[in-house]
Amino acid sequence: MTEDLLVAILLGDSTIDRKGGKHELKFYLPPSKQKILKFYIDKSKLQTLIGIDKISGEDNLFVISNSLVLERIIRDWSDGKNVVALDPRLLRNSTYMLWLCLFGNKIDNQVVIHQNTLTLNTKHSLIHFFGKAMRTSFLRLNSEGNFKVQALDELLLTSIIEHRPSYESLAILELLTDHAKKSFMQKQEKIEEEMREHACF
């Protein structure tokens, strides 16, 4: 759970800094996403394992520091400033889902995740690993070099079928475009109809 959260934040709207000989991770999170973060920390009982502090005088800017797990991930993945390598063992479905919920933003009818620390090669690696793990959804890079998430309606359907945490499904539902919501509703109705038909036998 700690690794999922730290990796999700590292892949999101964050920057790597160094203070007092130790690394820290600064990241932006709007109020609506802060509720998801709090729920995740409380549900996973991470309060004593990871310290996340709001930076005074800054709007929606947070910092993670003094974390041995964070030090290990930054040492293995980065050159101290940029993420130059990924460990696919830490790129689990739960990591990707949390990443989408915390950092996915609906902009101009697209779902975009801003990214500050990944090199271009690492972004392409993440696109590859994401596609292999998630299967029903996929990533692309937009013209600004940020991630564009596609086929979220399929991902939402999978989340519901697999009984994943309700906050995940609700967060993804909020990200759906009008067209994707319509597509999702049609697929859900089809599944319910098939279930009713099976129940008759």
Any idea what the CATH number is for the domain that residue 113 is in? Answer: 3.10.28
Check residue 122 and give its pLDDT.
Answer: 95
Q: Running along the chain, 201 residues long, what does each successive block of 10 average in pLDDT?
A: 92 90 90 89 80 82 88 92 94 92 87 91 94 86 90 82 84 83 74 60 51
Q: Is 126 helix (H, G, I), strand (E, B) or coil?
A: helix
Check residue 20 and give its pLDDT.
Answer: 82
Question: How far is Cα 198 from Cα 201, in angstroms, rounded to an integer?
Answer: 6
> pTM of the predicted model, to two decimals?
0.87
Question: Which residues span the domain enclosing 108?
Answer: 2-199
How do 52-54 and 22-28 pair as beta strands? unpaired
Please tell me the total count of domains within the chain: 1
Check residue 67 and give its pLDDT.
Answer: 84
Check residue 174 and give its pLDDT.
Answer: 87
